[in-house]
Structure 1
Amino acid sequence: MISMVRKAKLRTGTALGALMALGAVAGCGQSVPDPHDTAPGPRASHSASPAAPTAPPTLAPGPGGLAPVFANGPRNDGKTVALTFDADMTADQGERAAGGERFDHPELIASLRRLKVPATVFMTGRWAEEYPDQARAIGADPLFEIANHSYSHHAFTGDCYGLPRVAASEMRADVERAYTAFRTAGVKKAMPYFRFPGGCYDDAALREVSAAGVTAVQWDVVSGDAFATDADAVAQQVLDGVRPGSVVVMHCTRSAAPTTERALRRIVPALREQGYRFVKVSELIGAASRKG
């Protein structure tokens, strides 16, 4: 999940904020074959060859085979904006969930549907295990796409807001374990996009997750919704930051981001009034790959 503080320094340290500093808390190109698509393909016809499935857009690997990093779409390709929501739950939060803490946010998802806003949900595998029915419903809704936020929500670098660290030798396995959790929950297709826990990464982490075939997705607008109590302040921070092609980071959880749904109800009509069109991250990545 993302932190309370401004998250801009990616490799050198301005990652997400200290959302997990006092213990884990949570929140709800080139085209390449998607290894995580478990949906059955089109049935072959005796009279014609089946159409090839369309693979989600991704970016080409960076220098030295590092996973590519995407933070925003083209600024000159129309007024588009992608709202993203981190559905976080760390590997050790089962007792808190059993005690009644809610790491999901059904009202937020319902508002997105009611407002007809496409969105990308970056989900941890542990969240999918805790809320399999919700994960499956989100994954089956064409309004949304599910992307990977790790299984454990442990850090992929050192000194990342107090998060426990994933060993380098286990990074790829942690990413792939999340995809397995999605499939087990009934998600038929998860996108080949990965968001680092805490937003923290370095070249070593990019090298390890590259083997999982993912594009790393960050953001250029921080909503500040984590633990926020003022929905209007959250909405204003988003409205002040959005530019064409922006990726906004928000959270999908009742316990750690209680104002997000209310902020959303102000953000959406305000941006539409300014002429913005809401899209999923995949559309922005597709636009970037065509221009690149």
Structure 2
Amino acid sequence: MSLWEAILLAIVEGITEFLPISSTGHMILTAALAQMKADDFFKTYIVAIQLGAIFSVVVLYWKRFFQSIAFYIKLLVGFIPAVLVGALLKKHIDTLLERVDVVAFALLGGGIILLFVDKWFAKNEKNTELQEISYQTAFWIGCFQCLAMVPGVSRSAATIVGGLTQGLNRRTSAEFSFFLALPTMFAATAKSIWDTKEIFIEQAQKSWLTLLVGNSIAFVVALLAIKFFIGYLTKYGFRLFGWYRIVVGLLILILLWAGVKLEML
């Protein structure tokens, strides 16, 4: 992997990880269109740069990150459904992770839903603050997060919509989604690293500078993306992201139909 490819992937990761547009789908498209080779370092790299994106949430919300013990318990309650579903349905999830067409259809379906989400929940929104979220609400948002185990759904989209179904406003739903990403993404990243620890350590020792640059870029871009997303979502809602998902989903299907080789990462 060249340095420019590493920078491109880090930018894509930073932009897409917290927006409701599926980072998986964009990584597949980026790798295919740039004709990147999915070797051991490539797979190590796309896992490692998630850490930079995760850290952006801590830095951006550091004043609110250190809250009451009750808030952390709520994050744990929201995290538990993904752990249970992931353990029970691991074989089925692994099968879906091999299907690029599933990503495309999930992008399309999710995009269509986002076109109407604002209208569906406009009358249901309450000015609930982050610290006022109940344990029950946290649990139901966690259940929605399980939908993101289908590649292409987008963890951000699933959890934010989950929050809206519980009466949260768009801003609070998005912010809780970001906080819930910390244990979820960290656990997923740690598991991926552990499962391939020998390869990961070997690749990290050889290409530590590329990993450092990639994490730094993913951190900065994710921080800017979150700031943009919160402002845009509060004012304009989901419609733009819905249309965007539909375009990306159709593009993946067109590439598949044209015989372009697209691989899951």
Higher strand share: 1
> Higher relative contact order at CA 8 Å, sep ≥6: structure 1 or structure 2?
2
Same fold, TM-score > 0.5, yes or no: no
Higher helix fraction: Structure 1 or Structure 2?
2
Which range, TM-score by smaller chain?
A: under 0.3
TM-score by length of 1: 0.24
Q: TM-score, normalised by structure 2?
A: 0.26
